[in-house]
Amino acid sequence: MPAAPWWIGERVQVTTTSPGRTEVALRPVRVADSDALFHWINNRVLVSLSAAFRPVTRAQHDTWFAGILAADATRSFFMIERSSDGLAVGSCQLLSIHPVHRSAILQIRLGESFARDQGYGTEAVMQLVRFGFDRLGLHRIGLEVFATNMRAMRAYEKAGFVVEGRLQEAAWIEGKFVDIICMGLLNDRP
């Protein structure tokens, strides 16, 4: 069995572009996080912000979760916790990490409704981006977002992402076609 990537099990708190602001921290997923993740993936309103909703059984979730806990050099999965009390409010990940192209795809989900519109998502994205660029040596991080999810698009833009393209009517969400916006961010540090 290959050795776990060096970042597995590491707590991450990277300085963001907002000096002094540390409302959230990224930390490794724990077995105890399974129930929250199961609840969030079965929340139709929440899931429909970024994917087509399909109920997930406990068995399906447990299989997926076992994969998240396993060492995988192509993915870095973190929980987003509120710094003030350590409460997990969401999750985020870099996936499809490609060592040759030095690229990855970013995904984030704020699972707790009270965590939205607090700047937590923007801050978590900034921390994950810094982790990807500074610790993993990535050159590019990309993402896809529904054109209807303006809150997420604003958070990504605040973190420095730019629109690279639009996939017209590329997703069937809640009874209608939705455009997907492709965004990207390059590590332009020397």
| 8 Å CB contact between 142 and 182 | yes
pLDDT at 113: 86
pLDDT at 15: 37
Domains of the chain (ranges plus CATH)? 24-141 (3.40.630.30)
Q: Helices 34-41 and 58-69: crossing angle, nearest 10°?
A: 130
pLDDT at 114: 86
One digit per residue, pLDDT tens: the chain, 190 residues?
333 444 444 444 443 334 456 789 999 999 999 999 999 999 888 888 898 889 999 999 999 999 999 888 899 999 999 998 999 999 999 999 999 999 999 999 999 988 888 899 999 999 999 999 999 999 999 999 999 999 999 999 999 999 999 999 999 999 999 999 999 999 986 5
Q: Locate all alpha helices (DSSP H) within the chain, ordered by sequence.
A: 34-41, 44-47, 58-69, 120-130, 150-158
pTM as predicted: 0.86
Phi, psi angles (nearest 5°) of residue 11? -80, 135
What DSSP string runs through 135-169? IS--SEEEEEEETT-HHHHHHHHHTT-EEEEEEEE
pLDDT at 48: 87
In this structure, the strands spanning 24-28 and 162-173 are: unpaired
| 8 Å CB contact between 77 and 65 | no
